[in-house]
Amino acid sequence: MFSLELLDADSIVRFSERVVEQAAAEGNCVIVGRGSQHFLRTRNDTLRFFLYAPKEEKLRRLIAQGKTEADARALVDTVDRERATFIKKYFHAQWPNRSVYHAMFNTAAGDEVLIQAILSFLQQRRQRPIASS
């Protein structure tokens, strides 16, 4: 017989931290969300970005994916509220905690603009390290 170990939210956060730290230690990678900006905030070899969109842009994207306007509104509000609650509970910070990011980008600017901005930060990092918060 095997024992079943249930994972609660606290266990998942601890596991996520180990995975994020291991991935960062192994080299170049992109890590998205779930507190990684806080797990890696003291590392000088990371770049941390906050990507956001105005509510109307989020709604437009969800509706384009087939959601009704009512469902899209509920989803946007729920996801943002859950993110804020998660960050407050596990990192004792307000979401978004601007001090842990090197930059914040509005995704409504378009993919190419974001890619160029992020690559610019990466190029700057290679020339001269960016200080951590």
Has residue 80 been placed in a domain?
yes
Tokens of 14: 């601890």
Handedness of CA 62, 64, 70, 73 (dihedral sign): positive
- Could you tell me if 55 and 108 are in contact, meaning their C-beta atoms sit under 8 angstroms apart? no
Residue 100 carries which side chain, given as an amino acid letter? V
Look up the pTM and report it: 0.83
pLDDT digits (tens, 9 = 90+) for 64-79: 999 999 999 999 999 9
Residue 21 within a domain: no
Residue for token digits 């956060």?
13
pLDDT in tens, 74-125: 999 999 999 999 999 999 999 999 999 999 999 999 999 999 999 999 999 8
The residue range of the domain holding 74 is: 32-127
In a domain, 27, yes or no: no
Beta-ladder partners of 49: 103
CATH number at residue 42: 3.40.50.300
- Report how many domains make up the chain: 1
Asked, for residue 7, whether it belongs to a domain, the answer is no
